Amino acid sequence: MGSGVLGYTLRRVLWAVPVLFVISVMVFYMLRLAPNDPVDAILGRNAYQEDVANRLREKYGYDDPIYVQYWKYMKNLAQGDLGLSTQHQDFTAGEVIWPKIWTSTQLNMFALVIVFGLGIPVGVYAALARGTFLDPLAIGGWLLLDAIPTFVMAPILIWLFATQLGVVGLTWEGPYSTNAILPILIISLPGVAGVARLMRASVISVIGEDYVRTARAKGLKESTVIITHITRNALLPMVTVIGLSLPGLTSGSLFVELFFGIPGIGRESLAAATTPDYDVILAIVLFGSVLFVGANILVDVLYGFIDPRVRIGAGRGG
C-alpha cells in the first residue's frame, strides 16, 4: 500500500511538470505580446528617445525574438534568477517580491488560523444543534459578516476599534504589532461562514454512521463520541480545504493592503500589472502556480495517509 501511494505521488509530480511548463509559456507569451512594454512605461511619452529605448530593451533582453527571451528566462530561472524589475530599477524580481510575499504570508497565516479555529467548532456546534433555533443562529451570524463587503467592514472596524475604543492604531508597524489586528480580522472573519457550513454538512453526514451508533451503544461519554468519532472523521473533507488554502497565504489581500498601507504582495501585484513589470508579474504567477500544484499533490498524499481506503485504491492503481 505504501508503494501504491508513492507511485501515485510520483505520477502526480511528473504530471505537474508539463502543467507548469504550459502555464509559463502562456503567461510569458501573453506578457511579451502586449501592445506596450516596460521600456515605454519607464521613458514615458514626453521623454521618449529612440536610442535610450533601444539600449534599455537590449539591457532587459526585449529586443530578442520571443522564443529566445523565453529560453533565456527559463535558463536563468533554473539557476534561481527571476529576472530584473523595470519598475524598481537595479533590483531583481526576487529582491522585490520575496519580502512582500513574506509580509502577506505572515498576515494571512494569522487569518487562516482564525478562520479554521472558529469555523470548525462553529460547524460542529451547528450540526449538533440541528433542528433547533441555535443551528441557523450560529451559521447566520457568520453569513452576515460574509455578506458585508470589505470596503464597508473596514471603516466600521476602524471607527469602533481605532476611533472609539482606541485599542489599535492605523500606522502599519508589522504583522506582529497590535495595529495588525484590524487587517487580520477583516481578512479572516468573512471566511468563517464557508468553513462552518462545510464542517456542519460533514458532521451531519457522519452522525448517522454505524460506528457512531456503536460508540454510543458501548456507553462512551458523549464528549468522547463527538471528539473522537464524529469530529475526527468529519475533518477528512476539511483536509482538502486546508490544503488548498495554503497557497492563499502568499497571495495577499489587495484592498486591505491598500487601505492600511501594508507593503504586501497584493499592492505589488497591482503595481506590476499597471506599470507593466514583466519579470515581477511572471515571478508572482509562477510562484503561485507552483504552490497551487504542490498543494493539490500534498492533499492527495494526506488523503492516502488519513483514509486507508485511499491507500488501498492507490495500491491497486499502482
- Domain harbouring 194, CATH code: 1.10.3720.10
- Give burial (CB, 10 Å; 0-12/13-18/19+) of 147: exposed
Look at residue 1 in the predicted model and tell me its pLDDT.
Answer: 46
More confident residue, 7 or 311: 7
* Confidence at residue 307, expressed as pLDDT on a 0 to 100 scale: 59
Cell 476611533 belongs to which residue? Answer: 163
Question: Within this chain, do residues 100 and 60 fall inside the same structural domain, yes or no?
Answer: no
Please check whether residues 174 and 111 belong to one and the same domain.
Answer: yes
Q: Based on the fold, state whether residues 186 and 251 are members of the same structural domain.
A: yes
- Number of structural domains found in the chain: 2
Give the phi and the psi of residue 195 in degrees, each rounded to 5. Answer: -65, -40
Omega within 30 of 0 (cis) for the link into 65: no
Q: Say if residues 161 and 168 touch (Cβ distance below 8 Å).
A: yes
111 shares its domain with 253: yes
Question: Whole-angstrom Cα distance, residue 65 to residue 241?
Answer: 42
Residue that is last in its domain, among 78, 105, 124: 78
In which residue are the cell numbers 468519532 written? 229
Q: What value does the mean pLDDT of the chain take?
A: 81
Note whether residue 285 is domain-resident.
no
Reported as a single tens digit per residue, the pLDDT across 48-77 is: 566 666 777 777 777 778 888 888 888 888
Give the pLDDT mean for 31-36: 75
Helix orientation angle between 2-32 and 308-317, rounded to the nearest 10 degrees: 80
pLDDT on residue 97: 92
140, 69: one domain: no
Task: Judge contact between 267 and 84, C-beta under 8 A.
Answer: no
Residue-number span of the structural domain to which 190 is assigned: 95-274
Task: Give the pLDDT confidence score for residue 109 in this predicted structure.
Answer: 92
Q: What is the pLDDT of residue 115?
A: 93
Distance CA 4, CA 7 (A): 5
172-230 per-position pLDDT tens digit: 888 888 888 888 988 898 889 999 999 999 989 888 888 888 888 888 888 888 888 88
| pTM exceeding 0.85 | no
Same domain, 66 and 124: no
pLDDT band, very low/low/confident/very high, at 43 (cuts 50, 70, 90): low
Look at residue 46 and tell me whether its pLDDT is greater than 70: no
> 122 and 178: one domain?
yes
Evaluate whether residue 28 is within a structural domain. Answer: yes
What pLDDT was estimated at residue 149?
85
When pLDDT is cut at 50, 70 and 90, the band that residue 308 belongs to is low
More confidently predicted of 2 and 203 = 203
Q: Is residue 308 part of a domain?
A: no
Q: What is the pLDDT of residue 316?
A: 45
Greater model confidence, 303 or 242: 242
Residue 171 in domain: yes
Q: What is the pLDDT of residue 41?
A: 63
Q: Report the C-alpha gap between 263 and 15 in whole angstroms.
A: 35
Percent of the chain with pLDDT over 70: 87
